[in-house]
Amino acid sequence: MAALKYPRLRAVSLRVAQSVPVVIGVVIISFILTRALPGDPAVYFAGAAADEASIQEIRVSLGLDKPLIQQFFIYVGDLLHGDLGQSISSGQPVVKDLANRLPASLELTLTALILSCGIAIPLGVLAATRPGSWIDHMCRVLVTAGVSLPTFFTGIILIYMFYYLLGIAPPPIGRLDFIYLDPDRVTGFYLIDAALMPDWDTWRGAAKQLVLPAITLALFTLAPIARMTRAAMLTALSSDFIRTARAAGLSNRKILYGYAFRNALLPIITTLGMVFSFALGANVLVEKVFAWPGIGSYAVEALVVSDYAAVQGFVLAMALLFVALNLAIDLLYTVIDPRIGFAAK
C-alpha cells in the first residue's frame, strides 16, 4: 500500500535495490584480484628471508589455508568492518590512507566536471541550434580531438606552456605551494576549508594549483558531453512537440530552453555516468603528472613498491565510488524526468 501511495519512493528504492547485486559483483571481483597475486601471497608477505615454517605460519594467520569460500566470507567480514588491510609503504591501514587522500581527488574531479559541463553543454546546444555553422564545425573537431588526447600528454603540454613558457601557472607540485600552510581540515576540500577559515591568500594559492590539473581533466571529459548534448538537442529539436510548439507561436527561447533542452537533459545525464568512469581513470594519470596527493597517485606509488593491499583497496574504493555516483545520477534522473515514478502525483 505504501508503495502505491509514494511512487517516487518506490522508484527510488527500486533503483537502490538494483545496485545491490552490482556491489556484490564488485566485491567478488576484488576478492579474486586479491587472491590472484603472482605466486603465493603467503610467500610474498613472509618476505625474502622466510623459511618453510614461517611461510606456513603466515599462511595460517592470513587464513590462506582455509577453503576459498571461507576466505571469501572472512574477506567480506573484514570489509564490513572497514578493514582493507595494512599498507606496507605507509604502515597505516589502507582505509585511513584512502580517506585522507580522497578529498584531494574529489576536489579535482568535481571541479573538472563542473568546468567541462559548463563548457560542453552550451557548446553542444549552440552547435545543435546552428547546424553547419562554424560553431558546429568547431564542436565536431573538438569532439574528435578530445577523445584522442592522452590526458597525461595534455597535462604535460599545459605545464610546458603555462609554467615554463608563460610563467603564469605555479609549478606542478601538488595542492598547495610550500609558502602556504594547509587550511584547517573540515571537509578536506582546500577551497572550501580555506574559505571557511577564512584565509583568502591560501584560497588563491590552492585555486592556482587546481586550475591546470582541472583543465586537463576537463578537456578529456569535454568531448563525450559535447557530443551527446549536440545529438540529444538535434533529436529533441526535430521532434513533433517542438514543431507543435513552434506552430503555436511560442518564443524561440521558451522552445529551446523550456522544452527541447529539458528533454535533451536526460540522455546527457546518462552520458555523465560513462564520463565519470573515464574521469576516475584519467584522474590517476592527471594526479601523477601534477604530483596531486590524491588516491590515484597513492595507488601509483603503491604499485611501484608492490604494495598490493593498497592497490586493491584503491580499486575497490574507486568501484564503490563509481557505483554510488551512478546511483546518484539515476536518482537525479527520477527527479528531472517527471514520467519516472511520478505517474500518480
Partner 1 sequence: MTKISKVTTARSQGRFDHLAYVLRENPITMLAFVMFGLIILSAIFGPALVPYDPLETNAVKVLQPPSWDHWFGTDNVGRDVFSRVITATRLDLSISVAAVALSFVVGSVLGSIAGYWGGWLDSVLNRFFDTIMAFPLFVLAMGIVAALGNTIENIIYATAIINVPFYARLVRAEVNIRRDAGFVRAAKLVGNSNIRVLALHIFPNALPPMMVQVSLNLGWAILNAAGLSFIGLGVRPPTPEWGIMVAEGANFIVSGEWWMAVFPGLWLMIAVFTFNLLGDGLRDIVDPRKRT
Q: Which residues bind partner 1 (CB under 8 A)?
A: 21-22, 25-26, 28-30, 33-34, 36-38, 144-145, 147-153, 156-157, 159-160, 163-164, 171-172, 227, 230-231, 276-278, 280-282, 284-285, 288-289, 299-300, 303-304, 308, 311-312, 314-315, 318-319, 322-323, 326
CB nearer to partner 1: pick between 192 and 269: 269
Q: Which amino acid would we find at residue 67? A: P
Minimum Å gap between C-beta 285 and partner 1 is 6
Q: How far is CA 100 from CA 94, 197, 279, 334, in A?
A: 10, 20, 20, 33
Minimum Å gap between C-beta 315 and partner 1 is 4
CB nearer to partner 1: pick between 160 and 200: 160
CB nearer to partner 1: pick between 8 and 35: 35
Minimum Å gap between C-beta 32 and partner 1 is 8
Minimum Å gap between C-beta 185 and partner 1 is 26
Write out the DSSP string of 56-123: HHHHHHHTTTS-HHHHHHHHHHHHHTT---B-TTT-SBHHHHHHHHHHHHHHHHHHHHHHHHHHHHHH
Cα distance between residue 307 and residue 8, in whole Å: 45
Minimum Å gap between C-beta 344 and partner 1 is 30
CB nearer to partner 1: pick between 193 and 287: 287
CB nearer to partner 1: pick between 303 and 331: 303
Convert 153-173 to b/e letters by CB count within 10 Å (16 or more is b).
ebbeebbeebeeeeeebbebe
Q: How far is CA 88 from CA 38, 91, 147, in A?
A: 17, 5, 37
Minimum Å gap between C-beta 33 and partner 1 is 4
Cα distance between residue 61 and residue 4, in whole Å: 52
Residue 206: exposure state from Cβ atoms within 10 A (0-12, 13-18, ≥19): buried
CB nearer to partner 1: pick between 122 and 150: 150
